[in-house]
Structure 1
Amino acid sequence: MVGVPHSNGCRACIQRHIKCDQTRPECRHCQTRAIRCPGYRRILRFYHFTPREDEFTDASALENSVARPTMDEAVAPNLIFEALDIQLKENFVSMIDVTFPVTYATFCRRVNPNWVSFVHHHSKAQPIALTLSFRCLSTWYLAVRHQDQEKIHASRHMYNRALRCLADLLRHPTTITSDSTLACAILLGVYEMWDGISATSWVIHARGIKTLFQLRGPEAHLDGFGRTLFTTYRSFLVVDAFQHNETCFLADPDWREMTSHALGVEERDGKGSCLGDVTENLFNEIILCPGFHKQTRDLISHGGSESSRDTLISEMRRSQSVLRRLHHELILVQNDPDKAQPSPNRGEVEAPFPAHFVPPITRFNLKGVDSALALLHQLLALLDADRRRTSSLHEGYSAGVENPWGAVALRLPGPIEDDGKVGKKPHDWLDHIAMTMGVLSIT
């Protein structure tokens, strides 16, 4: 501070800038000059200090210097979040078009809401677990598309978060059977098939998803989003049954009746078609194959009565007959794609199948029915061989004869090429499994 003395002398000596001897009560300099010594008490002087003109700040200039929000930010404060959310939704839709094109085309006009409609119009009201499931799949798709390893790690992080949130939903009786919980489980199950820890880690998810379907019951999948979820994942329930050598629960009368009832609802709503009827009836027959496989394996491995063998053979031959009839109907649709759509007398309704998707739909379904027929043929041949063997040997396998099940391998196969061989396409191989109704999981 200006003017504050730093000397301990009297004020007179300080003003004269001489050294004071600090003699009390008066210093010698003041006595010599014959003046009154002002003493040694300090009196602080305060100065009125104002800033220079160029240091003044104009209030209006200060107001103008503050960053103002943009028009978009003023209207929507969370604009960045909204833009990112829209981008991820569009990426999810693009992912469906690339990874499940034929499956989506088969049901997009026959269910309400379909996946695209649900993502655009219903996802905001859903729990965080489902939101994270959408995002982890969308991020994974972007990462694979652009070969971005950082996005792969980001998608895995989202997957782990979604898995924890799903666990919370499963703990509450009010949410365990909800559409949102099942949708989240299905999306994470698909992610595990794409980017699983191991080749069989998806099986754990499949068992949980199967349990959720059973807890919900068939009526929950007759219409609405429940129907969408069922048509999306049902083929993988067949794969799961083959994987665990068990009868598929969808072969139970209540579930088969639900599929038939859903066809009636489609017919009532003007969405019925020849191709739709054939594909649904075909699926209703193929879901019996895991049970036939299990019964044949158990009978050959552990033995059984002749009556049970005859009953099983009779059921498989009946199924063969139905599959051959459906195969013939698919051939007719393949040769005349117009048969796939509703007849003209049903009024002005949107065709249940996009016209350019009718050929791939029929092609994949034909591969599925061909595989089912081949499986039944092999099972019948094994039963016949086992009958002849047991009738001559009366017990077990003779020396040097291997168990025929040693050559049977269960797997989650890759995509199908046009020549019928398993290929290595990076994206749509799960679509092939879904459209062939899961029967390709056994070789």
Structure 2
Amino acid sequence: MDEDFAPNLAVEAINIQTKESFERWLDYHFPSYVASFNSRVDVSWMDFVRGKWSSFPQALIWGVRALICLRMGAAEGNREAIMCARHMYSRGITHLAGLLRTPAVLSDETLAAAILLGGYEVLDGSTDRSWIIHSQGIRQLFCARGPSAHTRGMGRTLMLCWRPYIVADAFINAVPCFLGDPEWTQILMSEEIARAEDEQDRGSPLGQTMDYAFNEVAKCPGYLATTKNIVSSHTNVDLAMIRRLINCILQSKGNLEHFHGILGEIHPPASFVGVIPSMYATTLVQGSRDGISFAIALLDQLMTVLQSYLERTTRSVMIGSPGDKPEQDPWRLVAKNQSVEPNTTQSPRLKELEDPDLSTYAIGDLLDKFSLTMGMGSLSPDACGCPQFSAHKA
């Protein structure tokens, strides 16, 4: 009846309900992680959604709707709602493909749409790896926009919310992460940024420490990729280059140990928590310490491998030993196992036809916990390269 007699009013009511439902979606999946930067940015997700909804491209609107509908279907055990969410996701992807061919390709709205649809892939991807393919496109958007587009406004919020998945993408693909490059670490967190936050009454030593730690974690995929290339190389490697790599790893490890020590108090004082809601402080400290510990453990392993390789290579040069045969190198086998397979993503429309398994959607706060590890949670114990936070169990 509302649609018949007052269609404009009905549409507006639905839009309001959708926007408020999206806030509940954020609170369900990312309560702590969003809280770590929400009070420190110019524009939060909800500021963005509430303030600019009327001008959003269709790709972004359908992305929001798909996530809300998926969450509703999962919570209520409603297969029909999940199938509807998949249809919404498919429409969002179609609109995004068109948006990427327009002058708005580098806008905040396009990047936001790509991120939300990427988030849908994490929660209900056609395979465990389909989100990785989508994330590669998001990475290209970030790089095309450049660091300066993410220093303030919604651009900074988008970068902060997706950065753990950028690191995970780099680990899974065994390539360096662009967020570890100097021009990006300077806009993620620096003394200048910390000082500006304090002057604007947005300061949080806890949040700033997390950001400094992330700068070091973002370098870890590059350390891993370079180490693999060195020990898997069939040609002689410059020993001076290996020593420089070891020095960089040692410096990052020292910085991470320093930040781990700063986060030593499980229940930090209010002066350290700053503008972040105090109810999330303990979770943020514990999650960040876990991520830092994972990173330190990785760097220790890389140091062991590099020092062993350096000693073996130096000894081979001195005594003229041919060294290990390439096929005997276990790191080459690990690198092969961790490489991403060709695109196995099913089309969205094929996914729509599958009967959803409701048991795969009970992930609770796993996405929140993963985000707090700064992407380190993507290092799978079985070295298969599959993320451990995917709701879809293919």
User: What TM-score, normalized to structure 2?
Assistant: 0.83
Q: Percent identity?
A: 34
Q: Does 1:317 align with 2:247?
A: no
Q: Which residue of 1 aligns with 2:105?
A: 176
Cα offset, 1:336, TM superposition: 2.9
Q: Which residue of 1 aligns with 2:295?
A: 372
Cα offset, 1:85, TM superposition: 2.1
Q: Which residue of 1 aligns with 2:358?
A: none
**CA distance in structure 1 between the aligned counterparts of 2:4 and 2:163, rounded to whole angstroms:** 45
Q: Is the contact between residue 111 and residue 228 of structure 1 (CA under 8 Å) also seen in structure 2?
A: yes
Deviates more, 1:315-324 or 1:89-98: 89-98
Q: Is the contact between residue 411 and residue 441 of structure 1 (CA under 8 Å) also seen in structure 2?
A: no
**What does 1:126-141 align with in structure 2 at a 5 Å threshold?**
126-141=56-71
- SS in structure 2 at match of 1:122: helix
**CA distance in structure 2 between the aligned counterparts of 1:161 and 1:427, rounded to whole angstroms:** 26
**CA distance in structure 1 between the aligned counterparts of 2:175 and 2:166, rounded to whole angstroms:** 11
- SS in structure 1 at match of 2:263: helix
Q: Is the contact between residue 101 and residue 431 of structure 1 (CA under 8 Å) also seen in structure 2?
A: yes
Larger Rg: 1
Number of residue equivalences: 352
Match of 1:307 among 240, 244, 247: 240
Counterpart AA for 1:140: L
Q: Which residue of 2 aligns with 1:217?
A: 146
Relative to structure 1, is the Cα distance of residues 440 and 217 closer, same or farther in structure 2, using a 3 angstrom cutoff? same
Cα offset, 1:98, TM superposition: 0.8
**What does 1:12-161 align with in structure 2 at a 5 Å threshold?**
77-161=7-91
More contact order relative to length (CA 8 Å, sep ≥ 6): 2
Cα offset, 1:390, TM superposition: 3.3
Counterpart AA for 1:340: F
**CA distance in structure 2 between the aligned counterparts of 1:275 and 1:370, rounded to whole angstroms:** 17
Deviates more, 1:204-213 or 1:106-115: 106-115
Q: Does 1:298 align with 2:229?
A: yes
**CA distance in structure 1 between the aligned counterparts of 2:96 and 2:322, rounded to whole angstroms:** 51
Larger helix proportion, structure 1 or 2?
2
Q: Does 1:194 align with 2:123?
A: yes
Cα offset, 1:164, TM superposition: 1.0
Cα offset, 1:83, TM superposition: 2.4
Q: Which residue of 2 aligns with 1:64?
A: none
Q: Which residue of 2 aligns with 1:39?
A: none
Counterpart AA for 2:313: T
Match of 2:324 among 384, 394, 397: 397
Cα offset, 1:77, TM superposition: 4.1
Relative to structure 1, is the Cα distance of residues 158 and 425 closer, same or farther in structure 2, using a 3 angstrom cutoff? closer
Gaps of 5+ in 2: 341-360, 381-394
Relative to structure 1, is the Cα distance of residues 282 and 85 closer, same or farther in structure 2, using a 3 angstrom cutoff? same
Counterpart AA for 1:142: M
**CA distance in structure 2 between the aligned counterparts of 1:157 and 1:331, rounded to whole angstroms:** 46
**CA distance in structure 2 between the aligned counterparts of 1:411 and 1:373, rounded to whole angstroms:** 23
**What does 1:201-240 align with in structure 2 at a 5 Å threshold?**
201-240=130-169
Cα offset, 1:93, TM superposition: 1.2
**CA distance in structure 2 between the aligned counterparts of 1:411 and 1:136, rounded to whole angstroms:** 31
Counterpart AA for 1:359: T
Cα offset, 1:389, TM superposition: 3.2
Counterpart AA for 1:292: Y
Match of 1:337 among 265, 269, 279: 269
Match of 1:427 among 333, 343, 364: 364
Relative to structure 1, is the Cα distance of residues 158 and 313 closer, same or farther in structure 2, using a 3 angstrom cutoff? same
Cα offset, 1:247, TM superposition: 1.1
Q: Does 1:406 align with 2:333?
A: yes
Match of 1:246 among 164, 169, 175: 175
Relative to structure 1, is the Cα distance of residues 195 and 204 closer, same or farther in structure 2, using a 3 angstrom cutoff? same
Q: Which residue of 2 aligns with 1:56?
A: none
Counterpart AA for 1:373: I
Cα offset, 1:313, TM superposition: 0.8
Relative to structure 1, is the Cα distance of residues 400 and 190 closer, same or farther in structure 2, using a 3 angstrom cutoff? closer
Q: In the TM superposition, what whole-angstrom CA distance separates every residue of 1:228-259 from its partner, at most 9, and x where no partner exists?
A: 10110011111111111111111222111112
Q: Which residue of 1 aligns with 2:386?
A: none
Q: Does 1:266 align with 2:213?
A: no
**CA distance in structure 1 between the aligned counterparts of 2:326 and 2:195, rounded to whole angstroms:** 55
Cα offset, 1:265, TM superposition: 3.0
Cα offset, 1:118, TM superposition: 1.9
Q: Is the contact between residue 337 and residue 359 of structure 1 (CA under 8 Å) also seen in structure 2?
A: no
**CA distance in structure 2 between the aligned counterparts of 1:181 and 1:277, rounded to whole angstroms:** 28
**CA distance in structure 2 between the aligned counterparts of 1:338 and 1:401, rounded to whole angstroms:** 55
Cα offset, 1:392, TM superposition: 4.6
Q: In the TM superposition, what whole-angstrom CA distance separates every residue of 1:281-335 from its partner, at most 9, and x where no partner exists?
A: 1111111101111111111110512111111111111111111111100114x34
Q: Which residue of 2 aligns with 1:382?
A: 305
Relative to structure 1, is the Cα distance of residues 113 and 411 closer, same or farther in structure 2, using a 3 angstrom cutoff? farther
Cα offset, 1:391, TM superposition: 4.1
Q: In the TM superposition, what whole-angstrom CA distance separates every residue of 1:380-404 from its partner, at most 9, and x where no partner exists?
A: 0111222333345544526995513
Q: Which residue of 1 aligns with 2:354?
A: none
Q: Is the contact between residue 267 and residue 282 of structure 2 (CA under 8 Å) also seen in structure 1?
A: no
Gaps of 5+ in 1: 1-68, 343-351, 413-423
Over the aligned positions, Cα root-mean-square deviation in angstroms equals 2.4
